[in-house]
Chains A and B, each alone.
Chain A
Amino acid sequence: MKKKSKKIKNLNQTSFYFEDYLETNKKNKFSKKKNNFQDRIYLLFFFFLSLVLIFSIKITHLSLSKTISFNQEIAPSKFTLIRRDIVDRNGVLISRNVHSHHAAVNPKLIKDKKNFLIKLRLNFPELSTHEIKKKLNKKKYFYLKKRIDQSEKEKFWSLGEKGIIFEPFQARMYTHGNLFSHIIGQVDYDNYGISGVEKYFDKELKDKKILKKPLKLTLDSNIQYIVSKELNEAIKTFDATGGGALLMDVNSGDILSLVSLPNFNINKRLAIRDKKFTNKLTKGVYELGSIFKTFTIALAIENNLVESQTIIKNIPRSLKCSIHKISDMKEHPSNLSVEEILIRSSNVGSVILAKKIGELKFKEFIENAKLLKSPELEIEEVGVPHKIKWNKCKLETVSFGHGITTTPVQAASVYSAIVNGGNLIKPSLIKDRKSIESKKLVSTETSKKINSILRKVVSSENGTAHFADRHGYHVGGKTGTAEGYGNEKDKINTFISVFPTIKPKYTLLVMLENPQINKELIYEYRGVKTKAPYNTSGWNSVYVAGKIIDRIGPILAINNNEFTDQYVVEKFN
């Protein structure tokens, strides 16, 4: 188009000079105007292009950046707990994290310190205003009260002070308070386990991959409560300084209940230093007395040295070993069968059998049963039994449970092994764990014979554990009355029961520390009303065990059809 117009212009040209004079001026004017117009368009176009460029860069940036970036600041913190729940065998909640607050103070934001201190004194008289004043003067951020509840938070809020800051944190709550104090343990303010299961499984409880999966324990809240209640009552009845009870599944080693008294409320953070709050069943190390006689008898039968009915003739009333005199509490006939030795709890009879067994085999048994080792339980608080020197009279004293210490939980697991057919078990607090020991402690035949004898300890006329003979449960067991190891003033009365002895399922250990004779308590002993003649386990620990079995029996039966059909329905129908 441009070329054409140029050609037309050239045709109209009159003269060179004229054209040059007139046209050049016109042309210049026109080209000048045109140039100005074009420059403006270019400028506008440039601006427009740069705007488009800016926009496109922005769009590219936005599309590449994360979609949540625009509201990231106001987004709520997701509800995530930093520690797993702990539940019992039935899924009942034992511990859980909840959102809570610490009340802190930023001194720089407090204008009227005097007024603030007065308000604090009026509303929180338990807080030391003297200490707070000191901290305020230091002008450093400090905590006024840690782990406050909702009502306390509202109370602090109502003070109307800008300087009070509510610092969010997660508090560990225990729904059962005292009930599981010795097992569960506690966590610190930073949610690190400091005792019990909380410490033992600290890593697992904080594992982010399985945060929603609770840690399932073998314990049963209902049984734990019943056992705890009965034991508490027993401590009051017999004026004991403490006590413990343990219920274990003899086949799996699952601990259904573990109570050690006195206990404490784990929802409160207190510094507990008193020894009486020690976990007596796992950390406590005791001389358990006559309970060891069962091991002696089992070992003698296992080694084919005697049979249950073998008569041991001419048993003396006492024996002398070095300077020590070994005798029985009661007078027994001079000829006793092996089972009678256990039923009547004869010390002298046990010594005679131990001598037949020999030190080597006894040592081997103790080694295999891990009686002198710390229990392999999933809590931090486990005791270490005293090392023993096999000197002159050791075999004799160990045969009836003196001069040897162990933890009650280990003693209960050895009893479980002896009655379950001889299979060694590992006590456990964790449900559905994988490893189960498959080592034999005694043969199945020996186990059956021992079950029968243990039943007679409870059911026979000369037995020491009459009060545990509860109809329908076929209870068997062995009593143990001993002095504290290294402290003759202390007294430990223990009873380890097994039920039902036809096919053992549970072991129940009841231990009372320093019980006294209750002069007001009237027992019904074989149809006769009487008061306790002795301060032996038969008159207190066995009595408590009987009461516990009476109450937990139906619960255990409900969870097990076989048990219901055979052992409970008969009684109640």
Chain B
Amino acid sequence: MFQFKIIISTIIFLILLIITSMIKNQTRMIEKKIHKLNKKISLKEKDINESQLDFHFLTSPEQIEKKVKTLGQNNYLPIKNSKIFLSFSNFSDIKKNISAFKKIDEKKIKKN
């Protein structure tokens, strides 16, 4: 009876041992994947960091002015302040107002 118990417990222990080693192995595989992904993320972060730096350098007023000059224009194009819209809603509001004014004008002309 005693031997039987030992055998059973040994078998259970062995099964657990095997399962543990399997889980450990799988964890190791996942960790490897995580490690690879971390490496990729790290490289991407580095790329983004440097790309942003490049972007801000290339879009600095000095660089833009240089580009404008190389494109054959001596200065920035002046834009009427009324043509600058701060947002699309701002643009659509102004357009609506203009069309409303036009209609009023047309009515006035017709009346006359």
Contact = CB atoms under 8 A, between A and B. Distances in A.
Contact of A71 (B14, B31, B52, B80): B31
Contacts, number: 82
Contacts of B99: none
A52 B28 CA distance: 22
Given A98-B50, A554-B81, A573-B82, A176 B60 contact: yes
A179 B57 CA distance: 12
B58 to A, nearest CB: 9
Interface stretch (A73-81, A134-142, A425-433, A452-460): A73-81
B62 A76 contact: no
Contact of B53 (A74, A96, A225, A558): A96
A63 to B, nearest CB: 8
A42 to B, nearest CB: 12
Interface in A94-114: 96, 98-99
A82 to B, nearest CB: 13
B28 A569 contact: no
Interface in B5-30: 10, 13-14, 17, 20-21, 24, 27-28
Contacts of A48: 10
Contacts of A79: 41-42, 45-46, 49
Q: Is the interface of B mostly helix, strand, loop or mixed?
A: helix
Contacts of A241: none
Contact of B62 (A77, A81, A179): A179
Q: Which 8 A-B pairs have the closest CB atoms?
A: A225-B61, A93-B56, A79-B45, A572-B81, A175-B57, A175-B56, A79-B42, A76-B39
Interface of A: 48, 52, 55-56, 59, 62-63, 67-68, 70-71, 74-79, 81, 92-93, 96, 98-99, 173, 175-177, 179, 221-222, 225-226, 554, 557-558, 564, 568-569, 571-573
Given A93-B53, A177-B62, A179-B62, 20 more contacts: A62-B24, A71-B31, A71-B32, A71-B35, A77-B42, A79-B41, A79-B45, A79-B46, A93-B52, A93-B56, A96-B49, A98-B50, A221-B60, A225-B60, A225-B62, A226-B61, A554-B81, A558-B86, A571-B81, A572-B82
